[in-house]
Structure 1
């Protein structure tokens, strides 16, 4: 396996080739995450999502990443921004709908595929508020909901126990559900 941390260090030092090697090394994993979430949304494709995320990651934010975990956290944030931008553009085309609230066990792209745009936009606003109160919980939601990572995968990336992540996930979900039902 490629030493992602080493490549990220070289990229931070200005090596553009190392930055591309990071993307190449992680492309399969990023595309797999996106494909697992999309499941047939005709307006978004896994390859497009990963490439748009790459364009965002190619900037200064990706160069600031320290290791594999940090890179995936930044990728999750980039995917969140892309999904939200996609929803806002789609919402600008048609208003209304009466979408029902989806459980947070789904992923953002599954909600997009099911045309629950308003719900994902409401979640984004609640997630922004959560990020102001507890950035670590907000990052967990991004990795889980927007990048589609399982708690076991996040536990490995963050070097934390799955049990503590489950506890944090419950706290984050409770906060978000309260915020979404109040809004």
Structure 2
């Protein structure tokens, strides 16, 4: 874990080799997080966990020279990874809802007809808008939702990333879920 922090510091200072050294150390965990994210998406999602990790990786360290990222901890790095994955999924949902991709029309497959797991990109977009409103009111609770929902972190992992106690994190999670549920029902 200390090795990751050292590599993140080197990456921040512009060391090109640091990105190469970092990937093997965090790839498996990023892949696990991406798989957890995509498991919650509709079953016919065209984005695969590997592609999500690679796209997030490029957003995180792809342009080290031009945009030096600053991560002060392992938790901060994985928080940034969660945010990158969230943005990729939102962009993907927007693209799949675009008029040139059929707009509001969806292909219906008989095995998924009326199936509760066949979620729609519109729901993800509504969640993103509600999450933006929550972020305006309470950035910590919004970050917690991103870490739990989009990165798949446990309460304990999210509490460590946000530097909160587990009990506080559980209270914040309960509040954020209730707040988002009320927002999405309106």
Class of the TM-score when normalised by the shorter of the 2 chains: 0.7 to 0.9
Which of 69, 78, 96 aligns to 2:75? It is 69
**In 2, Cα distance between the equivalents of 1:79 and 1:165?**
21
Q: Does 1:78 align with 2:78?
A: no
Range that drifts further, 35-44 or 132-141 = 35-44
**In 1, Cα distance between the equivalents of 2:71 and 2:173?**
24
In structure 1, runs of 5+ residues without a counterpart are: 99-110
Alignment RMSD: 2.3
Displacement of 1:10 after TM fit?
1.0
In structure 2, runs of 5+ residues without a counterpart are: 107-115
Taking structure 1 as reference, are residues 141 and 10 closer, same or farther at Cα in structure 2, changes over 3 Å only?
same
- Return the TM-score normalized by structure 1: 0.82
Give the 3-state SS of the residue equivalent to 2:144 in structure 1. Answer: helix
1:50 matched to which residue of 2? Answer: 53
Judge conservation of contact 2:52–2:88 (CA < 8 Å) in 1.
yes
Give the 3-state SS of the residue equivalent to 2:169 in structure 1. Answer: helix
Displacement of 1:13 after TM fit?
1.0
**In 2, Cα distance between the equivalents of 1:134 and 1:143?**
15
- Return the TM-score normalized by structure 2: 0.81
- Structure with more contact order per residue of length (Cα contacts < 8 Å, sep ≥ 6): 2
Structure 1 segment 1-183 matched on structure 2, within 5 A:
1=1, 3-39=3-39, 41-58=44-61, 59=63, 63-92=69-98, 93-96=101-104, 114-182=118-186
Taking structure 1 as reference, are residues 160 and 9 closer, same or farther at Cα in structure 2, changes over 3 Å only?
same
